[in-house]
Structure 1
Amino acid sequence: MQQNQLTGINVELVKLLCQRAKITCNISLLPWRRAFDMAQHNVYSGVFSTSRNAEREALFSWVGPIASEPGYLFRLKGRTEVNPANLDEAKNYILAVSRGDRLESYFQSKGFRYGSNMMGFSTRTEPIPLFFAHKVDLLSGSKRSLRSWMLEHNMPADTAEPLFLLADIGAHYLALNPQFPADVALALQRELDIIHQNGELTAILQRYP
């Protein structure tokens, strides 16, 4: 979010898809769980960036993959006492997750539990003040995302430092209501395939260092 305008790689990408497919799209920033529920119950709704897995497959009509980057676990720079080398060791610290987000289910599948080593928030950036205050030990996301979040909070881009790569997270998708018009979903997918093939996605990525 910059100057009350939604920004980001996949925001720009989805806007471009809508433009190319000649449809009107209204993109809003909502708490993840609310956005996820809306996409399931409103025929003309969708949610991104969403992981596609067996549990969710039948819940949506899928367009993708959209832009995805490797995910990492991060600590606050200088907090050398927070030093897990893997997910099992990370369970000894407090990890922030966005409720309903793909990473919530990912970490739960790895044995993290609310009330023990995981705290839930409405958005992925909500816990950042607690991260600065040492109330939350670990954040997760891509390196690009964490740099952006730090800058948005007027902190140096390297304030959050990566500890290790998170394996097997999966790609990002635009998840549409299962009753969303099939011809429009196909048009969006067709335009996305073109953007992948002609190098436009690479150009978008380069605008977000």
Structure 2
Amino acid sequence: MLARLFAVLLCCLGAAHGVRADAPPGALPSGGLRLLTEDFPPVNFQQDGVVKGLSVEVVQEIQRRLGQQDEIILMPWSRAFREVQGPGQTALFAMARTPAREKQFKWVGPIVTFYSSIYAPARGGLRLHSMEDAKRAESVLVVRDWYTAEQLATLGFKNLVPVADPVTAIRMTLAGRATLFATERLSMPQTMAQAGIPEASLEIVYSYASSEGYIAFSRDTPDSVIRAWNARLREMKRDGSFRAIYKRWLPNDAPPP
């Protein structure tokens, strides 16, 4: 009788804190983790007030398997990037995992593959044959705090011009205010569509790297949470649900292992 009462009490306590009684070890109560993302279609974006995208569906499925329903908040990347480096239990996705960021965060993934490319106005006749050609350009636009900016700075670029968002960079490039725009190609078609700019206005003049994107957690997040999220993601990769989500959003790309 006492054992039964104790079990009921545990169940009630779990429900009161937003965690199922049968939740896996490492699951946080709902409201215990801040989930941040940015406008980066089709990986993560907002449409009609609803946050959507490949990584959003992956995160939501992990939460479902953990018995959690924390809200996903969309905000500008630079702000989200600062917040996930601060105190508290916070996650930001999808973030490229780079050597410079390795020790700044705890990682769950990979959940997407990013492809770095350099764009210029279409039909301008410009072609790059190496990264050295890009270094000699008058200016190369990058989005502030994106991994592409970090990559080029690490490679010794001295001509980088940081801007707040990709739409600003696209418009500046087309207006002739910069020579090149270094960015990630997955998001470009939908970003340009959202901005009302024909996709054919820009073209890739050089592609130079690929990087895997992860869910990046703040250092304050317990290791038990990281293990629980990685375990659920591995389950999704084994049972085919991860691949199904990936192919729905990026049918022409291979999901990361």
Flag whether TM exceeds 0.5 (same fold): yes
Letter in 1 for 2:127: N
Q: CA RMSD in A?
A: 2.2
Q: What pairs up with 1:144-159 in 2 under 5 angstroms?
A: 144-159=186-201
Q: Which moved more, 1:120-129 or 1:102-111?
A: 120-129
Q: Following the alignment from structure 2 to structure 1, what is the Cα–Cα distance between the partners of residues 166 and 61?
A: 24
If the length of structure 1 is used for normalisation, what is the TM-score? 0.84
Judging changes above 3 Å, is the alpha-carbon distance between structure 1 residues 111 and 9 closer, same or farther for their aligned structure 2 residues?
same
User: 5+ unaligned residues in a row in structure 1: which ranges?
Assistant: none
Q: 1:49–1:174: 8 Å Cα contact kept in structure 2?
A: yes
Deviations 1:91-138 (A, max 9, x none): 21422212222111100012222xxx2111223333222123222332
Task: Call closer, same or farther: CA 1:124–1:201 in 2, change over 3 Å.
Answer: farther
CA contact (8 A) 1:21 1:184 kept: no
Q: 1:189: Cα distance to partner?
A: 1.0
CA change 1:150–1:181 in 2 (3 A) is same
Query: Shift of residue 49 of structure 1?
Result: 2.2
In structure 2, distance between residues paired with 1:151 and 1:204: 22
* 2-structure distance, mates of 1:63, 1:87: 31
Inter-partner Cα distance in structure 1 for 2:163 and 2:182: 13
Aligned to 2:180: 138
Aligned residue identity for 1:198: D
Shift in alpha-carbon separation, 1:15–1:138, aligned structure 2, 3 A: farther
Separation in 2 of the partners of 1:79 and 1:205? 34
Does 1:118 find its partner at 2:160?
Answer: yes
Of residues 32, 37, 47, the one that matches 2:77 is 32
Residue ranges of structure 2 left out of the alignment (5+ in a row): 1-45, 251-257
Aligned length: 204
Task: Tell me if structure 1 keeps the 8 A contact 2:63–2:69.
Answer: yes
- Cα distance in 2 between the residues matched to 1:156 and 1:120: 23
1:201 partner amino acid: F
- Structure 2 distance, partners of 1:86, 1:50, is 26
Distance 2:203 2:58 in 1: 27
Question: What's 2:151 paired with?
Answer: 106
Q: Distance in 1 between matches of 2:57 and 2:119?
A: 26
Using the alignment, how far apart are the partners of 1:128 and 1:189 within structure 2? Answer: 36
Say if 1:79 and 1:33 are closer, same or farther in 2 by CA, change over 3 A.
same
| Larger RCO (alpha carbons 8 Å, 6+ apart) | 1
- Looking at secondary structure, tell me which structure has more strand per residue: 2
The question of 1:6 aligning with 2:86 is answered no
Q: Deviations over 1:61-96 (max 9, x none)?
A: 11111111322222222222x322221111214222
Partner residue of 1:85 out of 111, 129, 141: 129
Structure with larger Rg: 2
Report what 1:44 is aligned to.
Answer: 89
What TM-score does the superposition give when structure 2 sets the normalisation length?
A: 0.70
Change (3 A) 1:76 1:193: farther
**2:248: which partner in 1?**
207
The answer on whether the counterparts of 2:109 and 2:215 sit within 8 Å (CA) in structure 1 is yes
